Amino acid sequence: MAKNFTDDIFFATAVEISARLKAKEFSCKQLTRAFLKRLETLGPQYNALAASLRKRALEKAGDVDDDLKIGRDRGPLQGVPYGVKDLLDVKGYPSTWGAQPYLRRVAEDTATVIRKLDSAGAVCIGKLAMVELAGGGGYSSPAASLQGPGLNPWDKSRWSGGSSSGSAAAVAAGLVPFALGSETSGSILTPSAYCGVTGLRPTYGYVSRYGAMTLSWTMDKIGPMARSAEDCGHILQKISGGDYEDPLSAGKTFYYQPKFAREFKTLTLGFAPVDFEEAAEETARPAFRDALDVLMRMGFRVREVELPDFPYGAVTGTVIDAEGSASFEELITSGRVEELADAKQIAGLKAGLEIRAADYLRAMRIRRLIQQAFRELFVDVSFLVTPTRMGPAPSAFEPFGQGEQEKHRPRSRGLQALIPAGNLAGLPALSLPCGFAGHLPVAICLVARPFWENTLLAVGAAFQRQTNWHRRRPPVSGPEP
């Protein structure tokens, strides 16, 4: 029997949806069909859908309904539909990595993270669009994707962010309750901020990359993009853990334990006033200041800090360019790299093969110094807070930087390079929607020492109990029932 669903379901958290399933308000097959129809109808409008997994999803939904009939509880994600970035393999389905040269690539196995979510009873309904090769080699505009530029559900003239463009747009538009993205240097945090969803970049090594496209084997991370910090905690618990198939796995499993969170009065918040007063775009400053005020009222000790002085951008670029071009060496040397959509990316991938071993090793030595500097910084602070991005989403149809006025250089470096710095150090980060600049969402970012996700999630959940920015919905019209 068909059932009509409203936005109260499409924009509910994963935890809320699973609870309603277990209360037998609807079946998992009914829910899955509704989300499939929404994803298949609206996904192309945002250039967010790479491939529907309808047949697999409905078979999985039937299995969930069978479990629910006999009272088998698989946890708070049971029966919840979700999507994955198109660099994660699902056996028998295409994984194009957002790029024309891999248009006919069909996965021979299923990624570890998807197998783990299968065991938790979650239902994967679609592959979501991405920037080609997760941005390897660098790219010049949002159009560097097989599906075209990712369009923001809050304003389709704006970018949904890269490289996990489809994952963020799909969650923001209520096409899936949560999605998996990947980050090498900003690809979970940036689209989460631009689209107004909650995004978690886990500690490096916490989540297996088996079955995922490799861009940078020493920096790639897989993580959730969802409606709430609470959802991110439950998702990370299910996808974390050691995996012999991933030789760089940390061999650790995350357990989401919000009831055992540290008292906030024992934690020290580190921030840089310059980030909120000068570095942030003027239209976004009121939202950022208000978010900082909310955090300040939560009882933390407070300390002003700034990042240690290192060339974060240059080091990040050298590591990713060298490792990325090595990963795609066959694509480059065969000449098929010319099929990519972005000329800058083609040139960047070719150039990456020319990076000298001495330069790569120098970058890795500096990276070790950066990791040590963060260890020393976290002696004095428990976590850092800064705007995730300094302003709202840019245009989806212009090259990056086009039309921008020359920006005022802030008086100090603050924490403005925290995305490349945090990725080099393998640190966890949580992006939280915190308001709007005009009609577009903006976000703040919390960063802590490795394996401190429970602290970040406890702070994020408390912030979201005192605000409702994560509950805001873009002006999306769904398909006809």
Q: Report, as residue numbers or ranges, the catalytic residues.
A: 85, 163, 187
Sheet holding 383-387, edge to edge: 49-52, 123-128, 81-85, 178-183, 221-226, 198-201, 429-437, 440-448, 383-387, 268-271, 301-304
Provide the 3-class DSSP secondary structure of residue 4. coil
104 Rama class: left (phi>0) / alpha (psi -120 to 50) / beta: alpha
Calculate the alpha carbon distances from 424 to 99, 320, 427 in Å.
26, 10, 8
Q: CA-to-CA distance for 321 and 134, rounded, in angstroms?
A: 12
Q: CA-to-CA distance for 429 and 453, rounded, in angstroms?
A: 8
Q: CA-to-CA distance for 193 and 408, rounded, in angstroms?
A: 22
- In Å, the largest CA–CA distance within the chain is 65
Amino acid at the residue 398: E
> Is 113:222 a contact under the CB 8 Å cutoff?
yes
> Is 118:23 a contact under the CB 8 Å cutoff?
no
